[in-house]
A = this chain, B = another copy of it.
Amino acid sequence: MSPPSAMDIEIKAVTDTSAVAVPDPLTVNGIPAWREKVAKMPTGVAPECSSDMWKSPACYTKPKAKRFDHFLSQEAKSRKASTLKSAAGYLKNPGIISLGGGLPSAEYFPLEHLELKVPTPPGFTPEETQKSGSILHAGKHDIKEGKSLYDLEISLNYGQSTGSPQLLRFITEHTELIHRPPYSDWQCTLTCGSTYAWDTALRLLTERGDYIMMEEYTFASAAETAFPLGLKALAIPIDAEGIVPEGMDELLSNWDVQARGARKPHVLYTIPTGQNPTGATQSAERRREVYKVAQKHDVYIVEDEPYYFLQMQPYAGEGAAAPPPPATHDDFIKSLVPSFLSLDVDGRVCRLESFSKVVSPGSRVGWIVASEQIIERFLRNFEVSSQHPSGISQIALYKLLDEHWGHTGYLDWLISIRMSYTNRRDALLHACEKHLPRDIAHWVAPAAGMFHWIEVDWRKHPDVAAGKTLEQIEEEIFQSAIEQNVLLSRGSWFKADKSATMEKMFFRATYASASFDRIDDAIARFAASLREQFRL
């Protein structure tokens, strides 16, 4: 995993003479020139690769990440490199005939070409794509025929667990552009989606009996991934900006190993942007405070960030239109709240990234960013488990993101998604303002994500005096909404600590999936349920 020659020269230049200028950070427009300088794209079957092949010289001026050996599980520590994947190293010898690995010949892949019809920027809507969309073509032998750096012969065969170098390059550049991690030895690797990456992270970083920290309301599946591994959730208090750092500090400072029957928790799972289910987004300042608490107590942070690019325009208020989109790519990137990765001077963050919310969940392609030590341990797991995400998904994403859109087109797409979600959120908020009974329903306008978290003041329910509980009322409202033909999610589904007592009652509404013109109707139906249940 050593950087290639072009990079070696740059690093040397930086290290050797103190007079030399610090290399400029990578920019969207600087990528084509930088690509010219780096090592040639490996285009063989299942080639070894790593992000080090494409990171710009600016990365290497930064200190290295800390080591986190003390966090690695027994399982993670005992993993060795795959014998058979290692043998693939010999395939680099020119002229070698392989009777080695059990890779089928491309003759037996029954697919001669694959074509995709995709949007041509800036015409991103389905209607515009129908009219002005581009046809992308991937042939079986495009590499040999000099037509592309990636083809079906390669993508339909086995690959390495990093993912294909073709897609990993794009992802590495994108990561550097957006996050500029403040340590040098960060790397990316593809995953089969963030839920899978989280499952693997737990097996890497925890032992049965451990507590993990989660926002007190959290993504139910993330908690359900953890519990069967013998893990318990330590619910961290939250407010409208997500994790309350003082609350986290207090829980950790007063941790009683005896009373808890477990060592002090060392893993924090957080969804910092457009949190699921609360919709809360941690501000830059809030993130810095949380990171400080993590440093103080030596906590490893797993930031699950599917909604990062669903940061929306500021909410303009009741009935008002959204402000215009960011004018430039730079403005757009600057408008984004800094990630934990971008604050991570220690290398104590593993960022889970996903195409699910911005391209397609069905692709089952995501990626993670972390220090080389941690990525290497993930890879040792992946190569004897999932191996790598679908090569068909990978070539589709490569054709779209790298060959067709490039980084500029992808940023345009993300801005377009931002504006669409802004419109959807605004439609939902306007509907809530119009229909919901304000004396019992309260909310904060979400700044990012897919979710609107509606608090309903259950103590105002007429049957509370007669002893009806929060849980009963929540169930009755949920069922009444189903009868009105609208589905919302119950707040209690998202409790991190299932044994915790709820003081407040919530419902989660998403504006992501319903067709735009039915959002108003859906909220009207929910409002009818509330009025009926509360006899208003």
On A, residues with C-beta under 8 Å from B are 74-76, 78-80, 82-85, 87, 90-91, 93, 95-105, 107-119, 124-126, 129-130, 133, 140, 155-159, 192-193, 195-196, 199, 220-221, 224-225, 227-230, 276, 356-365, 381, 383-394, 396, 400, 413, 417, 420, 450-451, 482, 485-489, 493, 509-515, 518-519, 521-523, 525-526
Contact = CB atoms under 8 A, between A and B. Distances in A.
Given A99-B509, A101-B513, A195-B387, 18 more contacts: A83-B220, A97-B514, A99-B522, A103-B361, A105-B512, A108-B420, A110-B119, A111-B396, A112-B119, A112-B130, A113-B116, A115-B115, A157-B362, A195-B385, A363-B391, A364-B387, A364-B391, A393-B393
A97 B512 contact: no
Contacts of A91: 487
A52 B512 CA distance: 33
A359 B195 CA distance: 27
Given A99-B522, A102-B510, A228-B78, A118 B107 contact: no
A325 to B, nearest CB: 16
Contacts of A509: 99
Given A195-B385, A485-B96, A157 B114 contact: no
Contacts of A195: 384-387
Contact of A230 (B75, B85, B225, B514): B75
Contact of A417 (B108, B385, B515, B518): B108
A394 B485 CA distance: 31
A122 to B, nearest CB: 13
Given A97-B486, A104-B512, A360-B156, A220 B109 contact: no
B388 A364 contact: yes
A93 B387 contact: no
